[in-house]
Amino acid sequence: MNSFTYSYPVKVYFGEKAAKNLAAELTNAGPNVMLAYGGGSIKKNGVYDELIGILKDAGKTVTEFTGIMSNPTYAKVQEGAVLAKENNIDFILAVGGGSVIDCCKIISAQAKLDKDIWELEYTDHKQPTEFIPMGAVVTAFGTGAEMNNGAVITNEEKILKSALWGAFYSFAILDPAYTMTMPMKQVISGAFDSLSHSMETYMGSPREVNLSDEINEATQRNIIRNIRATLKDPQDIQARSELIWAAAMAENGILKIGKATDFQCHMLEHQLGAYTDCNHGQGLAVLHPVLYRHMMPEANHQFARLATEVWGIDPAGKSEAELAEAFVDALIAFIREIGLPTTFAEMNISADTDFKAIADSTVLTGGCAKKFIRDELLEVLLECR
């Protein structure tokens, strides 16, 4: 295991009625609060009324920032930052899933800057140091975005879906009951994103057995089991609570302790999203098996371990290469079982999409078992059609 320092700033309130802790947290916030959310589903399921009541009882002046889209744009970030400045916002309460939570991380930073944050991070190679404090209420799980300070933002002008770095949340409220009205399609694609995060971390280095990876194996088994349980009974709140915590585990740094992570599949999917605005979890489901076949034989040792330790494949009489193939086959079968797509055509992504531009603009990651070149990433994309 590599050397590491571990410290994490996000306080987690987990479980049903976890929002009861919000009032105490608000005592540390200033009077002007931005309530940020997406398309308004929180007004249909009662979460909005509950949170507004808590905010009003705490004596806060509330400014609402709405309409954050599923792939948040840089223009939306700037809109939020302007609103925060105009209303002297002291605290941001982000309510939703990864898109809302990511968007607010960068609003928090941009509102404190005179300079464009994209230019600051990508031209000056500097990070923001001042932020509006924030809290998150998770109503859609999968990304684990509430557990880190990275955000994935689509810059439509540059045709880039890229990482920006903003603030950590002071606290996160994870109430599985808040997720029970999520559309099942969103539940499954979000949970697959959690599985992808776990695999992307696992496939990094070091590649020999280590404690972080053994915890990761348990997390993957948990996600697989509870996706199946949720599909069997969508009202199984115990399965839902396991999935919401697994999503957090995949991104709270614990699985990454002592690891250099992979995330090449994520980088490729991000650029696919920049060009097509596709569903993130679905894009990952299509890309992962194809990319993983291209990672053979470099990744076979880890693939073989996933086959036995996560997917329960009997190793008797099988070579490492055969176990690696069996792992990818099991992953494909699971993707089909849970109703996720296996081709871009199933996602209504046109065959004449500019896949070369996507490959050419994809970030190449250092932790991947295979050092991809852009031409091979283009092959992966074309095979996914």
Structure confidence at residue 78 (pLDDT): 98
CA 223/CA 42 separation, integer angstroms: 25
- What proportion of the chain, given as a percentage, has pLDDT over 70? 100
Domain at 184-383: CATH code: 1.20.1090.10
Write out pLDDT tens, residues 260-292. 999 999 999 999 999 999 999 999 999 999 999
What residue type is assigned to position 198 of the chain?
A: S
Tokens of residue 304, six digits: 């073989």
**155, 144 Cβ separation under 8 angstroms:** no
Query: Helix 211-232 to helix 237-251 angle, to the nearest 10 degrees?
Result: 150
CA 290/CA 313 separation, integer angstroms: 20
CA 352/CA 312 separation, integer angstroms: 39
Residue 88 three-state SS: coil
CA 363 remoteness from chain centre: 17
Q: What pLDDT band is residue 51 in, cutting at 50, 70 and 90? A: very high
Q: Is the dihedral of CA 22, 104, 128, 202 positive or negative?
A: positive
User: What average pLDDT is seen over the chain?
Assistant: 97
Q: Is the dihedral of CA 66, 18, 246, 149 positive or negative?
A: positive
CA 282/CA 332 separation, integer angstroms: 13
Question: Omega into 206 within 30° of 0, i.e. cis?
Answer: yes
What residue type is assigned to position 315 of the chain?
A: P
Residue entry with tokens 């992504």: 349
Tokens of residue 12, six digits: 């987690």
Tokens of residue 260, six digits: 């250099």
The pTM of this model reads: 0.96
Structure confidence at residue 4 (pLDDT): 78
Q: Where are the domains of the chain?
A: 11-179, 184-383
* Fold match between domain 11-179 and domain 184-383: no
Structure confidence at residue 197 (pLDDT): 98
Query: What is the enclosing helix (H) or strand (E) of 274?
Result: helix 264-276
Using CB atoms within 10 Å of the CB of residue 227, give its burial: 0 to 12 exposed, 13 to 18 middle, 19+ buried: buried
Buried b (16+ CB within 10 A) or exposed e, 12-37: bbeeeebbeebeebbeebeebbbbbb
Write out pLDDT tens, residues 299-356. 999 999 999 999 999 999 999 999 999 999 999 999 999 999 999 999 999 999 999 9
Residues 6+ apart with CB under 8 A from 213: 202, 259
CA 340/CA 184 separation, integer angstroms: 11
What residue type is assigned to position 7 of the chain?
A: S
Structure confidence at residue 282 (pLDDT): 98
**292, 374 Cβ separation under 8 angstroms:** no
CA 290/CA 20 separation, integer angstroms: 45
Structure confidence at residue 6 (pLDDT): 81
For the chain, the distance separating the N- and C-terminal CA atoms, rounded to the nearest angstrom, is 38
The pLDDT of residue 73 is above 80 = yes
CA 267/CA 364 separation, integer angstroms: 7
Residue entry with tokens 């050092």: 371
Q: What pLDDT band is residue 7 in, cutting at 50, 70 and 90? A: confident
- What proportion of the chain, given as a percentage, has pLDDT over 90? 97
What residue type is assigned to position 64 of the chain?
A: E
Domain at 11-179: CATH code: 3.40.50.1970
CA 203/CA 58 separation, integer angstroms: 46
**36, 77 Cβ separation under 8 angstroms:** no
* Averaged pLDDT for residues 112-121: 97
Question: Omega into 297 within 30° of 0, i.e. cis?
Answer: yes
Query: What is the enclosing helix (H) or strand (E) of 96?
Result: strand 91-96
Structure confidence at residue 187 (pLDDT): 97
Q: Are strands 150-155 and 160-165 parallel, antiparallel or unpaired?
A: antiparallel
Structure confidence at residue 39 (pLDDT): 87
The pLDDT of residue 91 is above 80 = yes
The pLDDT of residue 95 is above 80 = yes
CA 280/CA 192 separation, integer angstroms: 10
Residue entry with tokens 């941001």: 92
Structure confidence at residue 369 (pLDDT): 96
Structure confidence at residue 271 (pLDDT): 98
Q: What pLDDT band is residue 40 in, cutting at 50, 70 and 90? A: confident
